[in-house]
């Protein structure tokens, strides 16, 4: 079993791997759409109809991708919380306060 990196380090590294993760996500979704299309072709559909049906069944690729971004952004927010919780003076300096509250 491979030892896992600490959570904080994994989150820091994820920031620098954003584009690579996007590429991996694109490849994963393309794989699933292709698998559905092959399943439809085995059942007798033409290739064009099978690909179209697979895309409809899979759903909006952009929406799936945005959901993945939301998850990763939540991890970035958690990373910021992890970092600032270790440095209370920094947390106080970087806290955003409404102008009416001062």
pLDDT digits (tens, 9 = 90+) for 32-88: 999 999 999 999 999 999 999 999 999 998 898 888 777 767 666 666 676 666 655
**Count: domains in the chain:** 1
Model pTM above 0.85: no
Residue 89 lies in a domain: yes
DSSP string, 11-57: HHHHHHTHHHHHHHHHHHHHHHHHHHHHHHHHTT--HHHHHHHHHHH
Instruction: Give me the domain span that covers residue 44.
Output: 7-94
Residue 46 lies in a domain: yes
Checking if the pLDDT of 26 tops 80, the result is yes
């Amino acid at each position: 079993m491979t030892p896992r990196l600490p959570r904080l380090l994994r989150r820091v590294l994820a920031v620098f791997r954003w584009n690579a993760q996007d590429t991996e996500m694109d490849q994963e979704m393309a794989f699933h759409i292709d698998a559905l299309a092959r399943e439809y072709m085995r059942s007798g559909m033409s290739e064009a109809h099978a690909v179209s049906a697979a895309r409809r069944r899979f759903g909006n690729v952009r929406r799936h991708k945005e959901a993945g971004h939301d998850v990763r952004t939540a991890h970035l927010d958690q990373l910021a919380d992890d970092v600032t919780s270790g440095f209370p003076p920094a947390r106080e300096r970087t806290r955003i306060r409404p102008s009416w509250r001062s």
